[in-house]
A and B are shown apart, each in its own frame.
Chain A
Amino acid sequence: MRMADSEMTWQIVLGLLLLEKLSLGASNEALAGDLLEQCHRGRSTAWFWGQVARAIGRSAGQAAVDAAPATVFALGWSLLFPWWREALAGWLPRAVPEQWMRLAWPRPALLEVSYGVVPTISFVWLGALVYLVVRRERLAGRSPMRVVSGLSASLNVLLLATVALLHHFQTPDLMVVTGAHFYFGYAVMGVSVPVAASLLTALLVAEGRRPRVANGQPGASGMRRKMARAEHGLRRTTPAQGLWWLAARTKAGALALVHICQTRADMGHQDLSHVPNTRDMGHPAVSTR
């Protein structure tokens, strides 16, 4: 069936939007123009959608191939997580002075969260830095702020996973975050999914999209312009600003986590006023009451 003028508007607009947003190629703009041109010459709606679907599918396949090294590394590195937890067990509580636990809400709760999150996120960030040093050629010509963005994004993923795990264990009690097995609440074949996902996010964001066209070639595609704008924005950020941004997002994420748990507690699950005292109980194992 040929595409009528009345049909073209929303169907083509939707297809072109999907093509330009979901396809990672450097020629999206030209490809979209070609498809539109052929539609005006009488190609059918079915043909148009077939071309869009194949372009997006091909792009997704290529993205999966590009992400394979980072995925393999994230899974492999995550296997080391139990040893890392064990190595740090008992160190963090001793590093925090006792009097801090008598501070006003929500600081004690933040400290409680930090006992669980800090060893985990430090493991993720160490893995990210190891990978990026080994594959530093992938960062050539990129702003160092990409690395900071990657670390920040990995923290977001870990905090979201922490909230999801608290929900999974049916408890608002922040104490469970310190449990050695907490991040194995979602695990596949010994790999902690939150840890692997957090690390993979850091690597993919740090590496960013790479155009398949050689540098210096003409053809200012939409993707290239968007990448150039993003790189320009990152280059204008100083290292101090980047670190401040990372610290601010860390604090905001931890506060959000604490308040989510507090809200759950206020809804009748449990009063968190005892949380500062939970350190006296050591590092409890995760319960699924």
Chain B
Amino acid sequence: MTEREWQRGYLGEFELMVLLAVIRLGDEAYGVPLTRELGEVRGREVSAGSVYAALERLEAKGLVSSNLGEATPERGGRAKRYFRVTEDGLSTARETRRVLNGLWKKLPPVGGDLA
């Protein structure tokens, strides 16, 4: 990945969490399970609007794609919007993990633990 591609695909902390949740949920990645998954991992309530805002940024960067699913009566006839990670999204996630792992490993011990 070139420097320019890296800059364009730069992920904020929350965007990275959302991207990983999309990867983990696979074919079931739409708003409700994504919000629940992120809330459980973070240990606090996550706003559905902020999840969609992050998803839209990821989609604009080409890291996820979306398609409309079924409309159910309990959703008032509104269709679910399913998200799926793209090849660019997968490579960006791998690259981010490689960089973060490298940085964590280089941290000096502080107080008997990593800083």
Residues of A within 8 A of B (CB): 16, 23, 25-27, 29-38, 40, 51, 54-55, 58-59, 62, 212-214, 217-221
Closest chain-A Cβ to B96's Cβ sits at a distance in Å of 20
Question: Are A58 and B53 CB-contacts (below 8 A) given A34-B48, A37-B72?
Answer: yes
| B:44-59 near A, CB below 8 Å | 47-50, 52-53, 55-57, 59
Total interface residues on B, CB under 8 Å, equals 30
Question: Are A30 and B49 CB-contacts (below 8 A) given A37-B75, A218-B68, A219-B66?
Answer: no
Closest chain-A Cβ to B64's Cβ sits at a distance in Å of 9
Main secondary structure of the interface of A (DSSP, over half): helix
- Measured CB to CB, the nearest residue on chain B to A29 is B78
User: Which residues of the other chain, A, contact B65 by a CB distance below 8 angstroms?
Assistant: 217-218
A31 touches B60 (CB 8 A): no
Residues of B within 8 A of A (CB): 30-32, 35, 47-50, 52-53, 55-57, 59-62, 65-68, 71-72, 74-76, 78-81
- Measured CB to CB, the nearest residue on chain B to A214 is B60
B47 touches A27 (CB 8 A): no
User: Which residues of the other chain, B, contact A221 by a CB distance below 8 angstroms?
Assistant: 81
Question: Are A34 and B68 CB-contacts (below 8 A) given A26-B56, A54-B50, A55-B49?
Answer: no
User: Which residues of the other chain, A, contact B81 by a CB distance below 8 angstroms?
Assistant: 27, 29-30, 219, 221
Question: Are A31 and B48 CB-contacts (below 8 A) given A37-B75, A213-B59?
Answer: yes
Closest chain-B Cβ to A110's Cβ sits at a distance in Å of 48
In angstroms, Cα B32 to Cα A221, docked, is 17
19 inter-chain pairs at a CB distance below 8 angstroms, sorted by A residue, are A26-B56, A27-B56, A29-B81, A30-B52, A30-B79, A34-B30, A34-B31, A34-B32, A36-B74, A36-B78, A55-B47, A55-B49, A55-B52, A62-B53, A212-B59, A212-B60, A214-B61, A214-B62, A218-B67
A218 touches B66 (CB 8 A): yes
User: Which residues of the other chain, A, contact B78 by a CB distance below 8 angstroms?
Assistant: 29-30, 32-33, 36
User: Which residues of the other chain, B, contact A32 by a CB distance below 8 angstroms?
Assistant: 76, 78
User: Which residues of the other chain, A, contact B50 by a CB distance below 8 angstroms?
Assistant: 54, 58
User: Which residues of the other chain, A, contact B68 by a CB distance below 8 angstroms?
Assistant: 30, 218-220
B56 touches A25 (CB 8 A): yes
Closest chain-A Cβ to B100's Cβ sits at a distance in Å of 26
Contact of A31 among B52, B61, B66 (CB under 8 A): B52
Question: Are A25 and B66 CB-contacts (below 8 A) given A33-B78, A38-B32?
Answer: no
In angstroms, Cα B78 to Cα A32, docked, is 8
Question: Are A29 and B79 CB-contacts (below 8 A) given A55-B48, A214-B60, A217-B66?
Answer: yes
User: Which residues of the other chain, A, contact B48 by a CB distance below 8 angstroms?
Assistant: 31, 34-35, 51, 55
A33 touches B80 (CB 8 A): yes
Closest chain-B Cβ to A233's Cβ sits at a distance in Å of 24
Question: Are A25 and B53 CB-contacts (below 8 A) given A37-B32, A217-B66?
Answer: yes
